[in-house]
Structure 1
Amino acid sequence: MRSTQFLGRRITAAASTVIFATALLGGATAPALAHGQVATPVSSHAQDQAPAETLQPDPTSPTAYEFGETLAGLEGEQLEITFLAEIIPHHQAAIEMSQLELERGASPDIRTHAENIIANQQHQIDQFTRWLEEWYGLTPEEAMAQAPEEAQEEMKVLEEETQMMIEELSAVEAGEGFDVAFVQKMIPHHQAGIIEFLEPQSRADHAQLRVAATAGITTQQAQVADFRTWLAGRS
């Protein structure tokens, strides 16, 4: 059982990661109230004049931030193997969600994004799988088994959450409503991927992996920005 001190350290580090990842994504977070500060109630007149509620993406998994912190504590071979063990199934899930968008979506713009996700992430899956074999003689499944116990636990939670996300998306009927649901889920999925890319981008031993991580961040950050703009236009 983790100690209170250890949990406190994890929460502090995770909060720092949230701020950094939010800055990377160009997003904004609502300012927190100071201790003891009371929010000023909104008048009924102001409420009457308020615009319609903006559609929002689903929240990013807290476990993604925890996994990012775990990667930050790893070095060299262990960092690369653990990252590759997670990012490969993460990309595979994005491809599965994008294939659903191509089957059921109505928006040409979002369908084009789905096609790009499939192409880009399949390319990286092929790269990462090949590198695991060339560098370490491992399959993705073997790499996962070699990851630290804490990382394995977090990857298991992330897999369960991703499967639930896919199941929820699979239950949405075809049409523009599916486009909205796809975007709402792909934004946090991309955000989790960006968090996972941060450590190998700066500290991977292999230059090829650092370059690939940078490309992954750049591509997914641009798609998140486009998705947020599109989602705001649906409100």
Structure 2
Amino acid sequence: MTAHRALIRRAAAVAAAATAAVLLAACGGGDDSSSGHSGHAPSAPSASASPQEGEHNAADVSFAQGMIPHHRQAVEMAGLAATRAGSAEVEALAAEIKKAQDPEIRTLSGWLDSWGEDVPEEDEGGEHAGHAMSGMMTPEEMAELEKASGEAFDTAFLEMMIKHHEGAVEMARTEQADGSYRPAKDMAGDIVTSQSAEITRMNELLGKN
């Protein structure tokens, strides 16, 4: 009888242990599932952040459509320095400006294409979307620059490019304030930083003339 009771107790203990193991496994499975879900939680914001980053507004379009002709004119002005500059420093600066702004033109054009917006034509000058681009040179000023050479070119180039850069910085600050497309706002920040530094450099070069 005693042995029979011991067998019953042992069987009950085994059953209880088995039940506990099942419950623990279920609990553990729940935890895994929960941690798996929380493990995916960070990816949800980034997935939703991606479309948000891709959203653009009218200010972004205006920035891209305005900066393209603005940059094109700067590249045209910089291209003149190769054969007209009297100073190696001015020629080097012009080459740097061209090197920096050419790729930005391509990037800006790519954004407009992807947004289904018009990319300014090559011959579009200082006016786009109904307003004049800040700091753009007039045809007369461009003609004056083309005719100059040596020290006269250096002075005219530096004075005009300072004005041109100031206009670009103004446009970039507007994009920083009003735009919503993160890459465009980042480019605007780069323009403010790099062109402000170049304005300082050009003022110093003018002081040497």
Could you tell me whether the CA contact under 8 Å between 1:194 and 1:221 is conserved in 2?
yes
Indicate whether 1:153 and 2:133 are aligned.
no
**Structure 2 vs 1, CA of residues 192 and 212 (structure 1 numbering), >3 Å: closer, same or farther?**
same
Q: In 1, Cα distance between the equivalents of 2:134 and 2:96?
A: 27
**Structure 2 vs 1, CA of residues 157 and 128 (structure 1 numbering), >3 Å: closer, same or farther?**
closer
**Structure 2 vs 1, CA of residues 112 and 163 (structure 1 numbering), >3 Å: closer, same or farther?**
same
Q: Identity, % of aligned pairs?
A: 26
Indicate whether 1:212 and 2:187 are aligned.
yes
Q: In 1, Cα distance between the equivalents of 2:83 and 2:118?
A: 31
Could you tell me whether the CA contact under 8 Å between 1:93 and 1:162 is conserved in 2?
no
Q: CA deviation at 1:162?
A: 3.5
Instruction: Note the 1:1-235 alignment, pairs <5 A.
Output: 77-134=57-114, 136-141=115-120, 152-155=129-132, 161-172=137-148, 174-234=149-209
Unaligned runs of 5+ in 1: 1-75, 143-149
Q: CA deviation at 1:184?
A: 1.1
Residue type of the alignment partner of 1:88: I
Q: CA deviation at 1:84?
A: 1.1
Residue type of the alignment partner of 2:145: L
Equivalence for 1:46: none
Could you tell me whether the CA contact under 8 Å between 2:145 and 2:156 is conserved in 1?
yes
What's the TM-score once normalised by structure 1's chain length?
0.59
**Structure 2 vs 1, CA of residues 131 and 169 (structure 1 numbering), >3 Å: closer, same or farther?**
same
Q: Deviations over 1:176-221 (max 9, x none)?
A: 2211111011100100110010021233211111110011111110
Unaligned runs of 5+ in 2: 1-55, 122-126
Residue type of the alignment partner of 1:162: T
**Structure 2 vs 1, CA of residues 120 and 105 (structure 1 numbering), >3 Å: closer, same or farther?**
same
More helix by share: 2
Q: CA deviation at 1:107?
A: 0.9
Equivalence for 2:25: none
**Structure 2 vs 1, CA of residues 97 and 126 (structure 1 numbering), >3 Å: closer, same or farther?**
same
Larger radius of gyration: 2
What's the TM-score once normalised by structure 2's chain length?
0.66
* Structure with bigger RCO (C-alpha 8 Å, 6+ apart): 1
Q: Deviations over 1:21-69 (max 9, x none)?
A: xxxxxxxxxxxxxxxxxxxxxxxxxxxxxxxxxxxxxxxxxxxxxxxxx
Could you tell me whether the CA contact under 8 Å between 1:183 and 1:227 is conserved in 2?
yes
CA-based RMSD of the aligned residues comes to 2.2
Q: In 2, Cα distance between the equivalents of 1:216 and 1:158?
A: 14
Q: How many residue pairs were aligned?
A: 149
Q: In 2, Cα distance between the equivalents of 1:182 and 1:122?
A: 18
